[in-house]
Amino acid sequence: MSETSAEQRAVAAEQAYVDVVYERLEESAKVATSLVKEGYARGTVGNEGGLVERDAMVFQAQRRLSALNAAHEGLVFGRLDLTDGEARYIGRIGVRDADREILLVDWRAPAAALFYQATAQEPSGVIRRRVLRSSGKRVVGVEDDLLDAEAAPEDMEVIGEGALLASLSRARDATMHSVVATIQKEQDEAIRAPVRGATIIGGGPGTGKTVVALHRAAFLLYSDRRRFERGGVLVVGPSSVFMAYIERVLPSLGETAVTLRSLGEVVDGIRAGEHDDAVAAAAKGSARMLAVLRRLARAPQPGEPTSFRYFYKDDVLTLDAKQLAGIRRTLLSGLKRNRAYAKAPAAVASALWRQVHGERALEKGEEEFLEVLTSDHRFVDFIEAWWPPVDAVELWRTLGRRLPELADGAFDAEEVAAMRASWAVSTQEGGVPRIEDVPLIDELRYLVGEVPPPEEEHDDVPRQLMSFERREREQDDALRSTTSIEDDGYAHVLVDEAQDLSPMQWRMLGRRGRQASWTIVGDPAQSSWPAPQEAADARAEALAGKDEHRFRLSTNYRNSAEVYDLAARVAKVAIPGADLADAVRRTGEQPDHRWVADADLAASVAETARELLERVDGTVAVVAPRAALGTVRADLADLVAAHPDRLRVLDGLDTKGLEFDAVAVVEPDAIIAESEAGWRTFYVVLTRATQLLVTVGTSETWLARVA
């Protein structure tokens, strides 16, 4: 009997089972839909108890419904044949039949762990592991691993050459996919690691750190839904391009109750999408910034009155600059500036009362003095001008102007100039903060405290219902004053590409994870942060002594071996101590280096992009130095318009975490020269290609170095 017909038979048999599961799923969806409707109907009855019940009911039913809808594609993906004769099906979510018998085991359940952990060396009761490949609801193929040949019944068929290689060779599209069907053992261990302290997942490029982290988020929600939905799970990645790339993975695993934010969006009310140049970014991210912000938070605001004079009965009461500074110091010694807002009038009044000596006044006493004073608009106006509530965003807007007076030698002239140039643009009318400004605004927000609210906001939407708020927030202004600090804490904080976080960014995340468990994912060799020790200290402070549990992923599933050989050579000469991974897949396509004359560069880049679009089925990236990005984008605008889903033009930093079937790197030497971490950025860029890699440059100094 031929292999094809064996596979067809297997596909048909699996389809029959999968159909039963889908039927059951439809029934569950119907029940959930009618529950949602019934819940709303109950709400119209209108008593308060009814409302609470309705909210809970609608919430639960809606959640189930969105999980059911999201997990539709490739719902059933695995089957285990066990030595006791059981055939156990594994899926994106758990499904039971009408008699509550298990039809499908949720991949995160303990009963599914064998699917990922059993090996031929240690089959643990598994004879055959089968991965079902599907398109929508249709099973299109199966891939088997025979783990225990001796225990296999004679008629058991084994089909295919392994699911992993088949899945790695697929063409890439614009978004990341879940790898739930082919998670490897070392990855599974990191995904299911117990929730305590900080789980640190390391490994070279393409080893699955991001997918593992996302599957871990789904696993955590499954393992302790109450805790993590209530407290919230925050997933932070480097850029909004990256967040868009990964945002489908969790819903496809049946999870929507996770807050996904890029580093520029971590703080409510602020959305930043652009990076600073290397000098300004390094200065703003540095721990040296902290002292500047502390000074700013305490310093008098420009235009604040420096003295106050008040006539009361026979006395002239005067507070000069020195006395006012003394009151300020006392107020700030115990309280944040905005918290002291309510205390400032009393502090000033009692300093004034101490100067009252006239008999008439003393006779009437302090109480009357206070009554007269506080109902006098001169006093009220003074207090409002002297101790206004300060909004962190407004304070941040003054940084550029006030930096020279606040920096106190902490930054050199080049750094000061770079930061001021950046703020000159972003704080002008209609300007928006850079990604590097967000932690500064957040820091200021914590230093000065919340602005006392003008009126109570009634924002009692439970956190769970704010899931996937990223999209909803898209309508928001990029910048408004920030909301309540009390909302910031999460139950779990998951940081991807953690090697790039600056000390100020670690502080921003640390404030959101004081009570949280953490998952931290990164590869130091891909870091673009120039001062690793400073960042390591800030990270240690953010984790505040939590236990660290380390996992290392060793196999590169992304790059062809040919592409990764070149990248590894770059790492060996330029990145001491890089954690190199093993690339498992050969394509026979060596990276190609094209040297061109200056005048031919633009034409050659366009030609290379066109050629790559023809040679691969999936995505193509053209990666250019930051300084040349605008030009290259303009040169390729027509081509991008013709292939909007397949072709991207990016700078090196924006490629972090992404992958493309083919990558063209423009002017590698310029990318390397562009920042202190240039070689690392170049390493990141090279390791984005799954199949084809071409470099195009007017110089080839780098190539000589790695030859």
Ligand X SMILES: Nc1ncnc2c1ncn2[C@@H]1O[C@H](COP(=O)(O)OP(=O)(O)OP(=O)(O)O)[C@@H](O)[C@H]1O
Among 457, 503, 461, 509, smallest CA distance to 480 is for 457
Please report whether residue 39 would count as binding ligand X according to CB under 6 A: no
Stretch that binds ligand X, among 75-83, 208-216, 421-429, 532-540 (CB under 6 A): 208-216
The residue (of 107 and 557) whose beta carbon lies closer to ligand X is 557
Compare residues 356 and 575 and give the one whose CB is closer to ligand X: 575
Q: Is 208 annotated as a binding residue?
A: yes
Q: How far apart are CA 218 and CA 157, in angstroms?
A: 33
Q: Are 686 and 570 in contact (CB under 8 A)?
A: yes
Report the chain's terminal Cα–Cα distance, integer Å: 52
Does 217 participate in binding ligand X (rule CB under 6 A)?
Answer: no
CA distance 94 to 515: 30
Site string for ligand X, 649-668 (x = CB under 6 A): --------x-x---------
Q: Which is nearer to ligand X, 324 or 520 (CB)?
A: 520
Q: Is 332 exposed, middle or buried (0-12, 13-18, 19+ CB in 10 A)?
A: middle
164 binds ligand X (CB under 6 A): yes
Q: Would you give the binding string for ligand X spanning residues 536-575, x where CB under 6 A is met?
A: ---------------------xx-----------------
- Among 144, 523, 654, 667, which residue interacts with ligand X (rule: CB under 6 A)? 523
Q: Considering only 5-13, 201-209, 404-412, 664-672, which stretch makes contact with ligand X by CB under 6 A?
A: 201-209
How far apart (Å, rounded) are the C-alpha atoms in residues 285 and 501?
8
Q: Least separation, in Å, of the C-beta of 497 and ligand X?
A: 7
How near is the Cβ of 663 to ligand X at its closest, in Å? 12
Q: Is 591 in the site for ligand X (CB under 6 A)?
A: no
Q: Binders of ligand X: how many residues, by CB under 6 A? A: 23
String marking each residue 675-704 x if it binds ligand X according to CB under 6 A: ------------x-----------------
- Out of 66, 77, 89, 184, which residue is the one contacting ligand X (CB under 6 A)? 184
> Does residue 87 sit in helix, strand or coil?
strand
**Residue 182 or 426 with smaller CB distance to ligand X:** 182
Residue number with CB closer to ligand X (395 or 501)? 501
What is the residue whose two structure tokens read 């108890």?
49
Applying CB under 6 A, the span of 203-211, 223-231, 439-447, 608-616 interacting with ligand X comes to: 203-211
Question: Based on CB atoms, which residue is closest to ligand X, 338 or 559?
Answer: 559
Distance of CA 23 to the CA centre of its chain: 36
Q: How far is CA 239 from the centre of its chain?
A: 7
Give the whole-angstrom CA distance, residue 457 versus residue 619: 46
Among residues 160, 205, 231, 652, the one that binds ligand X under rule CB under 6 A: 205
The answer to whether 272 contacts ligand X (rule: CB under 6 A) is no
**Which of 297, 490, 540, 296 is CA-nearest to residue 401?**
296
Q: Which residues contact 280 (CB under 8 A, 6 or more apart)?
A: 415, 418, 419, 421, 422, 434, 436
Measured CA to CA, the distance from residue 410 to residue 398 in angstroms comes to 18
Shorter beta-carbon distance to ligand X: residue 209 or 539: 209
The interface mask with ligand X, positions 615-654, x = CB under 6 A, is: ----------------------------------------
**Which range binds ligand X by CB under 6 A, 209-217, 263-271, 470-478, 530-538?**
209-217
E strand or H helix at 11, and its extent?
Answer: helix 3-45
Check whether 365 is labelled as a binding-site residue.
no
| Binder of ligand X out of 179, 493, 498, 520 (CB under 6 A) | 179
Question: How far apart, in whole angstroms, are the C-alpha atoms of residue 407 and residue 200?
Answer: 35
DSSP secondary structure string for all residues of 322-372: HHHHHHHHHHHHHS-TTTGGGTHHHHHHHHHHTT---HHHHHHHHHHHHHH
Name the nearest CA neighbour of 312 among 385, 363, 346: 363
Minimum distance, C-beta of residue 188 to ligand X, in the bound complex (Å):
9
| DSSP code per residue over 143-168 | EEEES-TTTS-TT----SS-HHHHHH
Query: By CB under 6 A, is residue 183 in contact with ligand X?
Result: yes
Consult the annotation and say whether 655 binds a ligand.
Answer: no
207 forms part of the interface with ligand X (CB under 6 A): yes
DSSP-derived secondary structure letter, 579 = -
Tell me the DSSP string of 455-516. S-------GGGGTTHHHHHTTS-SB-----GGG---SEEEESSGGG--HHHHHHHHHH-TT-
Interface residues toward ligand X, by CB under 6 A: 164, 167-168, 179, 182-184, 187, 203, 205-211, 523, 526, 557-558, 657, 659, 687
Residue ranges at the known binding site for ATP = 203-210
